[in-house]
Each structure stands twice: as C-alpha cells, then as structure tokens.
Structure 1
C-alpha cells in the first residue's frame, strides 16, 4: 500500500514520560487554538458588519450572537463529518516502534500548529512516503529505518488503529465560548484590511458578472486593490468605521460601508489591464 506520512515526527528523548510529553503538547497547542478562536469570532463579526444581507436576517440580535449563529449554521451544513472542516482541530497519535523509537503523528489543517510543535523542542522530523525517491539529504539506511518503524506501528489497513491518541477537546464547539473573551475585532481585522476586502469583493463581482474567470478575476482584482490603496489617492479614501463592542445590537451598528464609485472604477480599470497583460 502507498504510505504518505508527510508530518511524521520522532520523539527526541524516547525515555520521556508520554504523560509529560502530552502535557507539554497541550500547553503549546492551547494558546494557538485560543488565538485562532478569536480570529474566527472577528472574521464572522466582520462578515455581519459588512453585509446588508446578513444584517437583515439578524437585526434583533447582538453582533456576537449573530456571528455565532452564522458560524454554527455554516458548520452544520458540512454534515456529519463537520470535524473534518474544523479549522482548529488538533489530534496526535503516539507509539513505540519495534526499534524503540517513539513516533508521533499529528493531525491538523494546514500549518496551524506546526510552529507550536516545533517550539516544544520535543521532536525531530521523521516523515516517510514511498511514492517517490527518498530525499537527497536522508541516507538509504535512515530511510529504510523510517520505513520499518512506521510499518511496525500501522495495521493491515495502513492506519494507526492501536496507537494512543490525544486530541484537543471540543475545538469546534468551543470556538465562540472562548473566542469572545478579549477579542478586539479591530485589532485582528483592521479597517484597512476590511476596506481591501470590501473593494476587492465589489470589483470581483462586477468582473465575474461580465464573464471573467472567477480565479483570474479575483487575483487581478486583489493586486489592483492593493496597488490602489497604497497610492496617494487610495490613502485619502475613507476607511470603514471601527467595529463597536461585540455586545452591540446589529440594528445599532454603523451603516454598511460602501467604497466610492471612483475607487471601484480605478480598481476595475487596473484589474482589466492586469488581465489583458497576463
């Protein structure tokens, strides 16, 4: 069977207590999770603030509750496997190979927790895969050792069925209960960042409606918007008002921010130039 253990790690001190190791992992992961939860809360709050459509459906709620409801509905739409879409999920399996090495395999999205794991100083790289030639900086003997170690820990289905696992509990459910604490939306997503997003989305929709390819249009518009906002004219453009407290009622929020027609025209023209020039 094919083996793709791109994130494989080896515990540097194989004599270390696994209880202590898990405790250090948990201590390193938790702050990253809490920062991620605050960012999700900020992103969902901004979605409400900058969308007349979303405001209309939650006019009688506090901003925080409206954002939480939208987030919950979105996660529920993924169905029974929602955990697979959880941007903050984290779990890790540990096991002792036949050689005596203690191997570790973490599961998380993207590189969310990579630096946190590296900062623990507990692990060294021990990745392995058998679809291509071994990396040039790893000896044939070392590559064979890794293959044998991982094979001794996997079952006939090529999974870690018998290895103990630790996972971050309730990472999906607790996002808003934790993220609402000390979340400064304007610090996480600045008015400048919101303006870039609003302007880019507005122009992208115009180009897509005009028959432009979605990905090509989005990339060109993002570049054109960035160029415009650092220009003298863009610097003078009004920014969205700062977002008030998360406990503010949706109906009490400032008016939905709209970019000026002039800024839309300039960015649209620049994006079309970028598309034409490739």
Structure 2
C-alpha cells in the first residue's frame, strides 16, 4: 500500500495537545473569515452586475427546492450568502469544493517516543495556508510529510526520511486511516455553516469585511463577456474556454474592440453599497453599470 501524507508536521517535545487549540484558532480564524468575505464580495458583485445587465429578476437565481427567490436587488451581499449556501447544498460533503475554506488538524501520538504528529486538512485558500505556515513557524512545528512514491527531497537527509516513514507507520498503523486514532481540531466560525456566512456581526467579521477587495471593472467585464460567448456558442471545450478567456482579457486590458466604451459605463461599488448600507436611488435594486444586453452581445461577437 502506498503512503502519501502531505501537510504533515512533528510537534516539539512535550507539546500538550489541548494547549494547541487556542493559538491555532487565533491564527487561522481571521484568515478563514477574510477568505469567506472575499468570496462573498466577488459573488455579490457578480450578482449585482447580472441584475444590472438583465434589468429584472427573471434571469436571476432561484432556489430550486421551493421556487423562492434567492436574489434581493437591494442587498447583493445577503443574496450572495443565500446563493452560495444553495449551491453548496447540492454538493456531497466529500466533494472537493464543499466548504472550500475548511481547515482542520488531526493530532496523533507516536507510540515509540510520545511525540505528537499533525496532519492538516486545508481547503482552497492561499490565505489560510499562509496563516497556517506562519503558525507552524512560530510554534516550532517541523515539516514531517512523507510519501513512498519518490525519493526524499534534497533538503531532507536519507536518515530523517526513514525516521518520518517509521513514525507514520507506527502512528497510523496498518489501516492507514488517520481518523481511527486522532484528536481532531476544527477551526471554523461560530454558528458555522460550510458556505460563507460573514455578516459583520462580530469584530472579527467586521475586520474581514474591511479587508475585502472588490473586483475591478476590468475583471467584471471580462466575466460578463465570457458568459455571453459561452451562451452563444453552447458547450465550450476547455481549450476553447481558455482561449476565449485570454482573448477577452487582453482586449479589456487594452481597451480594444469596444471594451473601453463598456468600461466607461461601469461603476466600482463599495462593500457598503453591496450590503445595501448606502441609500440613494437603489429602491429598485443596486445597479453597478448601465450596459445593455444588446451592447454586450455586440462587443462579445467582435471577440469571437
């Protein structure tokens, strides 16, 4: 049986597993909230852009189970929470994109010397990974990953590689199932939902929201143009999709083929606007641009 244990560490001698919880949570939770807030901002802006483009709610997402509307034009932020939760409800918990920002650490004890070993399970957030790596550096957690399909890394001696192999063999056992013999630490927001739920209730959530960067008009326009092309051309192959995406991005960045005129019709909404906190002409819904479907389709056609 092959062995692949990535994101694995050996803890300093004498580490108390219960003393790990608080500092680990303090290091990871802010990064988790920032990652959630960033996804919410991107989704909220996409929803507002689509609403501004179509001009009514008939083309906006609806909850498939009961038919109720997910999009509230006056509050794209809360709408994004609903949409993401609805999308995740259709995923299996074992799906790689279910709770994309999940983070947990399994602690195991090597029976030979009593040293604690850790196996981390990270989602798809670079920010969370960077926060965890910084935590490991400050806490003295040493890299202890191991796999038997390749030679050991250059920076690891042959002796240490064998030590890693032996320690994992002893600790995990013949089953190879870590969950059978570990102490697991999950780091997640209070009132946890696996889909983002940053509402700005607590100080940590407010800090995360304040750190958000809203997508630029260039990024947003590129997305809308690509969506029009995909609708017009039907099924895209991966090669076609990458080619179209690159072509559109270059045109938008250069302001060519009519894209400069479209950019002039777009605003840069703030997070407060996406959360419906700023009043002023938004009774029928927050508008982020004045581009029409016909104009967008015409420019998209030039880029095919």
Give me the TM-score of the superposition, normalised by structure 1: 0.80
Q: Which runs of 5+ in 2 are unaligned?
A: 63-68
| Contact 2:44 2:76 survives alignment (8 Å) | yes
The one of 161, 164, 168 aligned to 1:150: 168
Q: Determine which structure has the larger helix proportion and give its number.
A: 1
1:252 aligns to what SS in structure 2?
Answer: coil
Provide the rounded CA distance (Å) in 1 between the counterparts of 2:212 and 2:264.
Answer: 16
Which residue of 79, 92, 100 corresponds with 1:66? 79
2:25 aligns to what SS in structure 1? helix
Aligned length: 264
Question: Are 2:36 and 1:10 aligned?
Answer: no
Following superposition, the deviation at residue 184 of structure 1 comes to 6.4
Q: In 1, distance between residues paired with 2:210 and 2:248? A: 25
How far residue 25 of structure 1 moved from its aligned partner, in angstroms, is: 1.6
- One of 215, 219, 224 as aligned partner of 2:247: 224
* Structure 1: runs of 5+ lacking an equivalent: 269-278
- How much does 1:131 deviate? 2.4
| Corresponding residue number in structure 2 for 1:264 | 300
Deviations 1:182-224 (A, max 9, x none): 4369833222221121122222433x43x7x421121111211
Stretches of 4+ aligned residues off by more than 6 angstroms: none
Superposed counterparts of 1:118-157, under 5 Å: 118-120=133-135, 121=137, 122=139, 123-157=141-175
Which of residues 102, 106, 116 in structure 1 aligns to 2:120? 106
Counterpart of 1:27 in 2: which secondary structure? Answer: helix
Where 1:92 maps in the other structure, the secondary structure is strand
Q: After the TM superposition, which of the residue ranges 118-127 and 254-263 deviates more from structure 2?
A: 254-263
Provide the C-alpha distance between the structure 1 equivalents of 2:116 and 2:99, rounded to a whole number of angstroms.
28
- Over aligned residue pairs, what C-alpha RMSD do you find? 3.1
